[in-house]
Amino acid sequence: MALCSLISRMPALGLRSPSMVPLMGFVPVRALSSAAGSRLISHRSAATVDRLRPDIYSEDEMARVRETIKRLRAKADQIRIESKKKYAEGLKMIEMTDQVMATAEASYNEAARRIGCSNLQSKGLVLPAR
């Protein structure tokens, strides 16, 4: 139903009637007639046309934009460097904590063995030697 409606409105929209499309090969392009094209273009508002035009900046504005970009890149680079330093410090702290915990665990187990608390190991209170 929608297709019939569209086909019946084709002349009003300025579309050319569909030609016979070959079963294989090149498919012809359906284009708007010049009258329909001019109607579409004339219905655009000035704001739409202005929005589609590229902005043209003066040399002063371009220099200001370049300077802003340069400043923001430098700031981002500085933040990245500081983040890498903090990440490396965090990794060192984790490694140091692991070492301290391993040393404390070994000391605790050694002290428990000296005292003769073999029954603590059977209860799971003393970790086996690594």
Q: How far is CA 71 from CA 38, 59, 67, 76, 77, in A?
A: 47, 18, 6, 9, 10
Q: Is 71 left (phi over 0), alpha (psi -120 to 50) or beta?
A: alpha
Residue 122 half-sphere exposure, CB side, CA atoms within 13 Å? 4
Kindly report, residue by residue over 51-86, the tens digit of the pLDDT. Answer: 667 777 789 999 999 999 999 999 999 999 999 999
Instruction: Give me the residues paired with residue 15 across strands.
Output: 32
Give per-10-residue mean pLDDT for the chain (130 aa): 60 57 54 63 59 77 95 97 97 96 90 69 58
Q: Which two tokens stand for residue 75?
A: 């700031």
CA 14, CA 3: separation in Å to the nearest integer?
A: 16
The pLDDT of residue 77: 97
**Residue 63: DSSP 8-state:** H
Q: Which two tokens stand for residue 38?
A: 């001019």
